[in-house]
Amino acid sequence: MSTEQTLILVKPDGVAAGHIGDVISRLEGKGYVIAGLKVVAKATDAQLRQHYADKVTKAYFPELVDYMQSGPLVAIIAEGVNVVAAFRQIAGVTNPDEAAPGSIRGDYGRSWADGAIRNVVHSSDSPEAAKHEMQIWFPELNLNS
Ligand code: GDP
Ligand code: MG
């Protein structure tokens, strides 16, 4: 297996609740390399339309944008063999009520009365998606060239 990279976002709820360090600790604890790290004060509409390109037609997309713009987020590039799939396990499934205890979403996320799914972190679902997403959040790395 070859080394690959994944794009992780600590979403605004995760930043507000103080989980940046936990996410980084879990990555470092497993021995993955942190290859990129930044605070994004507020995600732009353009960034979110690119990042969630397959979600723009969903009824919940405006809600998702509001959530992702509700505060600062932290973008991370993590590197290692099989890190894409491995971090999806560490994050847990999309619905935080169903995410396994011990996963990030299982430990820190839950559903709320307003119907929002606030699930603490994003992570790429394939190495190809990771390349696309890294260009959105780390354009200065010129990953296209
Ligand atoms: P992920 O890859 O596990 O993050 O899940 P998806 O790619 O399916 O969805 C992306 C993000 O959109 C999720 O992490 C949620 O924040 C949000 N989302 C997905 N489904 C819903 C939904 O039915 N309602 C709302 N409000 N948000 C959703
Ligand atoms: Mg996804």
Residue 144 is predicted with a pLDDT of 73
- In this predicted model, what pLDDT tens digit does every residue of 32-44 receive, in sequence order? 999 999 999 999 9
Low-confidence ranges of the chain (pLDDT < 50): none
59's enclosing H/E stretch is: none
- In this predicted model, what pLDDT tens digit does every residue of 104-116 receive, in sequence order? 999 999 998 988 8
Residue 145 is predicted with a pLDDT of 59
Binding site membership of 60 for ligand 1 (Cβ less than 6 Å): yes
Q: Are 143 and 131 in contact (CB under 8 A)?
A: yes
Residue 1 is predicted with a pLDDT of 78
Binding site membership of 65 for ligand 1 (Cβ less than 6 Å): no
Of these residues, 19, 51, 122, 132, which one is catalytic?
A: 122
pTM: 0.97
Ligand 1 atom with least separation from CA of 52: 10
Residue 60 is predicted with a pLDDT of 93
CA of 118 to the centre of ligand 1 (A): 9
Alpha-helix runs per DSSP H in 52-140 = 61-68, 83-91, 104-108, 127-137
Pocket test of ligand 1: the residue of 94, 122, 124 to mutate, having most ligand atoms within 8 Å of its CB, is 94
122 catalytic? Reply is: yes
CA of 17 to the centre of ligand 1 (A): 19
- In this predicted model, what pLDDT tens digit does every residue of 68-77 receive, in sequence order? 999 999 999 9
Q: What is the residue type of 55?
A: K
Residues 6+ apart with CB under 8 A from 141: 36, 134
Alpha-carbon distance values, 84 to 50, 89, 111, 125, 127 (Å): 19, 9, 25, 7, 7
Q: Domains (ranges, CATH) in the chain?
A: 3-117 (3.30.70.141)
Binding site membership of 63 for ligand 1 (Cβ less than 6 Å): yes
Alpha-helix runs per DSSP H in the chain = 12-16, 20-29, 45-51, 61-68, 83-91, 104-108, 127-137
Residue 44 is predicted with a pLDDT of 98
Ligand 1 atom with least separation from CA of 11: 16
Q: Compute CA 7 distance to the chain's CA centroid, rounded to the nearest angstrom.
A: 7
Q: Which residues of 124-142 are buried (b: 16+ CB within 10 A; e: fewer)?
A: beeeebbeebbebbbeeee
Residue 121 is predicted with a pLDDT of 98
